Amino acid sequence: MAEALSRDLSKMAARMLLRHCRGLVLSPSYASSRYSSRTAGSATNSFKVKVVQFFNQHFHDLEDILAYSSIARNWKVKVKNRSYNKTRERYGKEVAAATFVLNLNGRVRCRGQRRWIHGRLKELDICLEGIDVSGSIINFDGLENLASLKFLRYLDLSRCPSIDDWCLSRLGTLAGSLEELSLAGCHQVTEKGLACLCHLQNLKRLDVSDLPRVPYKGLVCILLEEMLPQCEIVGMDMTAWDEVDQDLDTETHQDVEAHTASRSWRPT
């Protein structure tokens, strides 16, 4: 009987304490100002101060964790995109570029071979012909590791969140060999960055699908066709005029339609 009465009293005390502290939990800033350490004369006030301090410390630590997490991500991006100068000096530019790509969980293909290399590089006498770093954290600094490759024909930068217009301006060093380039899903790329590709005159295939920051895709497609006449543009339709501003005058529409008709017929 006594044990049952004791349990009932404990439950009642717990409910009373919960009601008493409910406003404190829901509004810790108000309670903190009301129940400071100088005015906490009773045990109840002291308990409330401790509860407020706990919540304030908890949320403060949460903000610190988020801040440290952001710093860690930025540090990781910086480290992953560092220049492999020591590797280049010791083993050559091809090995340095391959090591950089493989450390980004990408893959490389050597000249004259069809298979792709993943994971670790087992040979040092290589000549890179293809690089796939799709979906990686490669950025402007990381592209420096690829700048001196003279036989690179295929480069996949699709879905790389850090690839932007400034990065595309750095691809001019690959103009002598690059034949296939994929920028699909690079959401930071705009039409200004695509204009930088005019130096890549050896391109045969360019994938520019899923670029949300590129307006007037029909006009941009025509621009790319004019800059790179030997290149197949994938992902943009020259005849898609739904996004074209209605303010374009009739003469401009006629000129564009005539150009489209002339480009649509090609001799076999």
For residue range 67-115, what is the model confidence (pLDDT) as tens digits? Answer: 767 787 888 889 899 999 999 999 999 999 999 999 999 999 999 899 9
Residue 63, pLDDT > 80, answer: no
**Same domain? 132 vs 213:** yes
Q: pLDDT tens digits for 210-231?
A: 999 999 999 999 999 999 999 9
Greater confidence, 44 or 151?
151
| 85 is a domain residue | no
Say how far apart CA 20 and CA 38 lie, in whole Å.
20
**C-alpha separations of 54 from 33, 46, 51, 62, 136 in Å:** 15, 12, 5, 12, 40
**Same domain? 119 vs 62:** no
| 24 is a domain residue | yes
**C-alpha separations of 239 from 154, 167, 207, 258, 259 in Å:** 28, 29, 17, 11, 10
| 86 is a domain residue | no
Mean per-residue pLDDT, 170-190: 96
Say how far apart CA 129 and CA 113 lie, in whole Å.
9
Mean per-residue pLDDT, 140-163: 96
**Same domain? 31 vs 107:** no
Residue 58, pLDDT score: 61
Cite the beta strand spans of the chain per DSSP E: 107-110, 128-132, 154-156, 180-182, 205-207, 232-234
Q: pLDDT tens digits for 28-45?
A: 444 444 444 444 456 667
Residue 101, pLDDT score: 97
Residue 210, pLDDT score: 96
Q: Are 102 and 91 in contact (CB under 8 A)?
A: no
By residue range, what is the domain housing residue 243? 93-259
Q: Please provide the average confidence, as pLDDT, over all residues in the chain.
A: 79
Question: Residue 49: which pLDDT band, with cuts at 50, 70 and 90?
Answer: confident
Residue 31, pLDDT score: 41
Residue 48, pLDDT > 60, answer: yes
Expressed in angstroms, the distance from the first to the final Cα of the chain is 101
Residue 225, pLDDT score: 94
Greater confidence, 35 or 64?
64
Domain boundary among 29, 47, 77: 77
Residue 33, pLDDT score: 45
For 129-165, give the DSSP string. EEEE-TTS---TTGGGGGTT-SS--EEE-TT-TT-BH
| 121 is a domain residue | yes
Count: domains in the chain:
2
